Amino acid sequence: MGWIKKIIKPYLFMLPCLLFVILFTYYPFAKTVYLGFTLVDLNGNPVEFVGFENFINLFKDKMLINTLLNTLEYTAITIPATFFISLALALLAEKKRKGNHIYQIMFALPMAVSMSSAVMIFQLLMNPTIGMFNYLTGLGIDWFGDEKYAMVGISILSVWMGLGFSFLFLLAALRNVPSELLEAADMEGCNYFQKLVSIKMPLISPTIFFLICTDLIGSLMVFGPVWIITKGGPMGSTETMMYWMYIEAFENAKYGYGSAVAVLIFVIVMLVTLLSFVYEKKGVHYT
């Protein structure tokens, strides 16, 4: 009996975690792919195998190009903006001075604010008539009501939400740069900018790579702010890929077609991740 116990014991420890992982990640993953090839009834049961029909329709759907472009616009704004602003914040807070903790907490504060709270605050902040944002910047834009600016508005909100997280990472990375290297550079007469470009940036590049990767995946899957603020509008200008999937599956009750969209999103996320790993080989410096 003892040896049986010894053999199964590790599996017993592993079992609960494995069970949930299989039930709520691998099984739904496989089933989502399968549903993509079927027609699904309202209860979620596949009724007919339709082959590639869903995927063919996907590429004929005008939502495809629209959601891709909108998601791309969002990504193109949020990623560079989040990165450069949080890098600037991290460089400001890098040196340990007196009172350093106070503004370090202020810089990281957006992290403590949940997505839906941030969305509610920015809806008021960027309100065209009573909002503070237009007043302070002198702009007269109807941020979430104008199809030209709605995506920009959502991107601004998302940049703010991402600041705290990126800031804390970059700060930790910058403080890990060995001070001997910087002192040596000082002796050689390097200025601040040279030190930043030639010493700090290469040394923190793994962190930068990680942040851009996670942000990239996050932006490809953006949904919450769109759903709460604009519901895809005005004129479909904020429809993103996740929004498309949500609408097809849960508003139009087309689970099969929605699953096909989910598979497409997954493929795109995978491709982007692979691409960024190709870049990693060239641009990221590991010690």
Partner 1 sequence: MMRSRYVHKLFMNILCLLVGLIVSFPVIYCVGVSFMSASDLSSYPPKLFPSTLYWENYKTVFTSTPILLFMWNSFLIASIGTIGRLITSSLAAYAFAFFDFKGKHFWFLIILGTMMIPGDMLIITNYITVANMKLINTYAGIMIVMIASATFMFMLRQHFKTMPRDFRDAAFVDGCGDLRFFLNILLPMSRSVLSSIFIASFIGLWNAYLWPLLVTNTEHMRTVQVGITMLQFEESMVYGPVMAGVTVILIPSVFIFLAFQRQLVQGITFSAIKG
Residues 146 to 185 in contact with partner 1, rule: CB under 8 A: 160, 163, 165, 168-169, 172
Token readout for 117 is 């709270």
DSSP string, 203-214: HHHHHHHHHHHH
Which range, of 21-29, 52-60, 138-146, 181-189, touches partner 1 by CB under 8 A?
Answer: 21-29
Residue 150 or 229 with smaller CB distance to partner 1 = 229
In this structure, are residues 44 and 258 in contact, taking their beta carbons and an 8 Å threshold?
A: no
Instruction: Please state, in angstroms and rounded to a whole number, the distance separating the CA atoms of residues 125 and 128.
Output: 9
CA 243 to chain centroid: 14
Judged by CB under 8 A, the residue of 196, 269, 272, 284 near partner 1 is: 269
Judged by CB under 8 A, the residue of 59, 76, 116, 148 near partner 1 is: 116
Residue 56 or 121 with smaller CB distance to partner 1 = 121
Q: Tell me if residue 247 falls in helix, strand or coil.
A: helix
Residue 76 or 105 with smaller CB distance to partner 1 = 105
State the nearest-atom distance from the C-beta of 270 to partner 1, in Å: 8
CA 104 to chain centroid: 23
Binding mask 209-228 for partner 1 (x = CB under 8 A): -x---x--x---x-xx--xx
Judged by CB under 8 A, the residue of 4, 112, 274, 278 near partner 1 is: 112
Instruction: Please state, in angstroms and rounded to a whole number, the distance separating the CA atoms of residues 169 and 207.
Output: 7
State the nearest-atom distance from the C-beta of 35 to partner 1, in Å: 7
In this structure, are residues 232 and 247 in contact, taking their beta carbons and an 8 Å threshold?
A: yes
State the nearest-atom distance from the C-beta of 217 to partner 1, in Å: 7
Q: Which of 129, 121, 162, 161 is nearest to 145 (CA)?
A: 129
Residue 59 or 103 with smaller CB distance to partner 1 = 103
- Asked if 249 interacts with partner 1 (CB under 8 A), we say yes
Judged by CB under 8 A, the residue of 28, 145, 233, 234 near partner 1 is: 28
Residue 33 or 199 with smaller CB distance to partner 1 = 33
Question: Binders of partner 1 among 69-108, rule CB under 8 A?
Answer: 89, 92-93, 95, 97-99, 102-103, 105-108
- Asked if 143 interacts with partner 1 (CB under 8 A), we say no
- Residue 127: phi, psi to the nearest 5? -60, 135
In this structure, are residues 77 and 149 in contact, taking their beta carbons and an 8 Å threshold?
A: no
Q: Which of 222, 213, 214, 260 is nearest to 241 (CA)?
A: 222
